Amino acid sequence: MAVFDLIAAPYLGKTPRAMAGHLRVLQRGKDMVLAEHYTPVHGRLLTTVTLETVTFDRPRRVAFQLVRGPVPHVAEEFTLTEHDGSTRLEYSGELGTDFGIVGQWWGERVATAWAAAVRASFASIQAEAEHRARPTAATP
């Protein structure tokens, strides 16, 4: 599945230079990596660094589990399914906080930045998948 490979490549292979400001893989395994993600917050004034495990269940699922970050719990998942020659990509995630109302307030701020990062990921994945799917012009 080309879309799965597109998502997994920066983690399981060499991380592209264009992603260096967003991702740093600390350790690679066959179907799991330990990676730092850098997410801009507050209009890019601050950058949140998270440490996450990323697991790959080819060709259906890529899951992220927070190890260290600005909140105590985040679990996210990209699920891929094939439909009539197209790939459907779905996202689900949960974010947990502590410290009562203060933690809830902070969690809402973190969730806003996370949602923006997920939207950007979807846009990037879609653009690259569509680019790769376009037929190339034959050269004489």
Mean pLDDT, residues 110-120:
86
- Cα angle 111-116-121, degrees, rounded to a multiple of 5: 120
Per-residue pLDDT, 7: 93
Per-residue pLDDT, 45: 77
Range of the domain at 71: 2-133
* Residue 139 maps to a domain: no
Q: Is the pTM of this model over 0.75?
A: yes
15-41: per-residue pLDDT in tens?
888 888 889 999 999 999 999 999 877
Q: Kindly report the length of the chain.
A: 140
> Which residues make Cβ contacts (< 8 Å) with residue 40, sequence separation at least 6?
46, 47, 48, 113
How far apart are alpha carbons 21 and 102 in whole angstroms?
Answer: 30
* Tally of domains in the chain: 1
* Residue 138 maps to a domain: no
Mean pLDDT, residues 96-109:
93
* Residue 30 maps to a domain: yes
- The CATH code of the domain that includes 105 is 3.30.530.20
